[in-house]
Structure 1
């Protein structure tokens, strides 16, 4: 596996806006996110699409791809972090200079719709990418980034902790929605009920995954990774039970549940069960069937906060019986 160098104080971070135009729509929160990175000792270069808006997207497909490539070519840039997700990062996959990333790897990080870029880059290059915080929703939190979120980021990409590294269950979390342009208080945190064993067991494999809904935009393509023996992690946001059945069945009919060694399911931000007479966990078992793999749910990854940073491509152990996830190797060199 290819790894970028550890991110250090004084390094330069490049910011991309590969889908939704969040820096324009949420200017104060975006500025706060940039300031948070600077307060952590990092220099920031804003990408060429950070001040652009075309309705649902920042700019054209080519312009958004060029924004990424410009930062890939900039040897001063050690990490590339997305401003937010959206719906259309998969449009950029044919235009990224994967060959240059192989020669000069960088940390690439984001979540949600950026799953397409993270998995596409990993598949094409073998470079470990990072399912982690984005500038606007995470680094730009009011009045500053959640301390645990900051800690999880620094643990992984700045190597404040070294592998083997067992993830902690945060004592509290939040999915509260407050209008980003009028927010004047911190979000309310609630007690974390912990991670939930769906099927027990223990397995080790390569950690791969991301946002389940986004996967539908490129599954089966040359940009989607092989999952034989992998520990797959999936998470989603603002979806309902019907859409979850469709998405889980997408994995089923593509044979993914037959291939993976374990499954991690993140907390679902504002899930709508549609008054179904069954739980999401019961639906999951109905779709998966008798395949006997360890499954751990309600994990703090993705759209709820604080969230862990998952390095895509590293070896990890999932012990669903004990309710633990252990990273067996670092995602960066250093």
Structure 2
């Protein structure tokens, strides 16, 4: 496996806007996110799409791809972090310079719609990609990044964790939404009920996954990874029970659940149960049928905060019965 070098203070981080034009829509929060990185000792290089706005996207497909490629080719840039997600990062996959990324491995990080880029890069290069914080929603939190979020970031990409590394269950979390244009207080945190064992089992495998809704945009393409024996992780945001039935069934019909060795399900930000007389967990087990796939649910990844950083492609172990996830290797050198 090709691995990027760990981040050090003084390194340069490039910023991309591969879908939603968040730097324009949420300028104050965007600038606060950049200031957070600078306060942590990093230099920041804004991508050329930072001030572009084409409604639902920052710029054209070619311009967004060029933004990423320029940062890939820049020898000073050690990491590339997305401003936010959106809907259309998959459009860029045919135009990324994967060969240059192999020659100059860099940390690539984001979540939600950026799943498409992360999985595409991992599939084409064999390099780990990091399902973790983005500039506007995470680094740009008010009045600063959540301490646990910062801790998980630094442990993951600055190699400040011993291997094997067992993830902790945060004591509190939040999914509260506050208008980013008018926010004038911290979010309210609530006690964490912990992670749920839906089906016991202890498995090892490559850690692969991302945003469930985004997977439909690359499934059955050359950018979707081989998940044979993998521990699959999925999470979602602002979806309802009907959409989740469709998305989970998509994975079942594609044979994904038959290929993987275990399943991690993240907390769902603002889930709508559509008044169904059953829970999401019951729906998942219904779709899986007689499968004995070990499942750990309600895990802190993705759209709720604080969230762990999951390096896609590393070897991991999941003990669903005891509610433990352990990284058996680091995503950086």
Aligned runs of 1:61-72 on 2, under 5 Å? 61-72=61-72
Aligned runs of 1:19-30 on 2, under 5 Å? 19-30=19-30
Does residue 45 (structure 1) correspond to residue 29 (structure 2)? The answer is no
Aligned runs of 1:1-334 on 2, under 5 Å? 1-333=1-333
Q: Determine the C-alpha separation between the residues in 2 that align with 1:4 and 1:148.
A: 23
TM-score by structure 1 length? 0.99
Q: What runs of 5+ residues in structure 1 fail to find an aligned partner?
A: none
Query: Secondary structure of the residue that 1:5 maps to in structure 2?
Result: coil
- Distance apart, 1:290 and its partner CA: 1.1
- Distance apart, 1:162 and its partner CA: 2.4
Q: Give CA-to-partner distance per residue, 1:92-151, whole Å, 9 cap, x none.
A: 000000000111100000000000000000000000000000000000000000000000
Q: Give CA-to-partner distance per residue, 1:58-103, whole Å, 9 cap, x none.
A: 0000000000000000000000000000000000000000000111
Q: Determine the C-alpha separation between the residues in 2 that align with 1:291 and 1:258.
A: 8
Query: Secondary structure of the residue that 2:296 maps to in structure 1?
Result: strand
Q: Determine the C-alpha separation between the residues in 2 that align with 1:188 and 1:280.
A: 25
Q: Determine the C-alpha separation between the residues in 1 that align with 2:104 and 2:142.
A: 35
Q: Determine the C-alpha separation between the residues in 2 that align with 1:223 and 1:181.
A: 36
Q: Determine the C-alpha separation between the residues in 2 that align with 1:165 and 1:152.
A: 12
Q: Determine the C-alpha separation between the residues in 1 that align with 2:302 and 2:7.
A: 21
Q: Determine the C-alpha separation between the residues in 2 that align with 1:214 and 1:281.
A: 20
**Cα RMSD (Å):** 0.4
Query: Secondary structure of the residue that 2:291 maps to in structure 1?
Result: coil
Q: What runs of 5+ residues in structure 2 fail to find an aligned partner?
A: none
